[in-house]
Amino acid sequence: MEKLPLNGKRSVVLEDSWSELKVHSKARIALGHVGGSLPLREVLAFRLACAEAKDAIYSELQTDQLCEAIASLDVPVFKLSSKIRSRDEYLVRPDLGRRLRESDIDLLQSIKQTCDIVFVVTDGLSADAVNKSSIELITQIIPVLKSRFDIAVAVVEQGRVAIGDEIGELLQAHFSVVLVGERPGLSVPDSMGIYTTYNPRLGLTDERRNCISNIHASGLSAKGAATILNYLIEQSFEKRISGVALKMSLDLRTGNPEGEALK
């Protein structure tokens, strides 16, 4: 064990012998110790991480900015809401976060819009994550897909993953892509996930979905996620399946799905 220097003075903090491994992970490892306790700096860092996670849960989706940016890609964009009326209700009633409000159901039924693929952008448990990462990913993937598919996008306030099933059914979509804020952790409060479903319909369970996770500044890049997403779309449309039935053979070391990188 080695004592860490502090302002030129000998520190009381003892460093762990394996502290060099910290450079490989943002996990809370090799924190050192003072006697039987954590160093004060680590206690304060933990409290800060807890506060950032809580802030992420209560962050707000920038719906107007997202809709404006997505509309520039020349695809239909719908601003929708789940049945949730407040963030506190969202946390205790996940069932309501999976269904659209009646007025939005009526809207989608009245316009008779259909599409091949619907992107659903929703806050989940970290709107910050979606605000930061969704536009970069969408601007990477939608221009690639537009030559082959009819695309629509729904920006949904207070939504959970399964709300993509109802939206996909109402738009008669063959495939849904749900971009959602993941549950904040104590090292990353702004991680976005993507859930894909072939033939989305009300009542599906999670075994019908594929997931791409950990999209954030220190994790999977938007370009890397777009490459995997493009692969899942191609495979699902070719085999007409998704979820556990769809075996992924993507080379994650190179990001190339069977040699076909996202152009």
Specify binding-site residues for adenosylcob(III)alamin: 161, 182, 211
Q: And the tokens for 58?
A: 């209560």
Residue ranges of the annotated binding site are 161, 182, 211
Q: And the tokens for 165?
A: 């099933």
Spatial contact of 129 and 213, defined as CB atoms under 8 Å apart: no
Spatial contact of 80 and 167, defined as CB atoms under 8 Å apart: yes
Contacts of 53 (CB under 8 A, 6+ apart): 184, 185, 186, 189
Class of residue 258 by CB neighbours under 10 A (exposed 0-12, middle 13-18, buried 19+): exposed
The angle, 0 to 180 degrees and rounded to 10, between the axes of the packed helices 127-145 and 40-57 is 60
Spatial contact of 137 and 215, defined as CB atoms under 8 Å apart: yes
Length of the chain, in residues: 263
Strands of 117-122's sheet in order across: 77-81, 151-157, 117-122, 175-181, 192-198, 209-215
At position 85, the amino acid (one-letter code) is: R
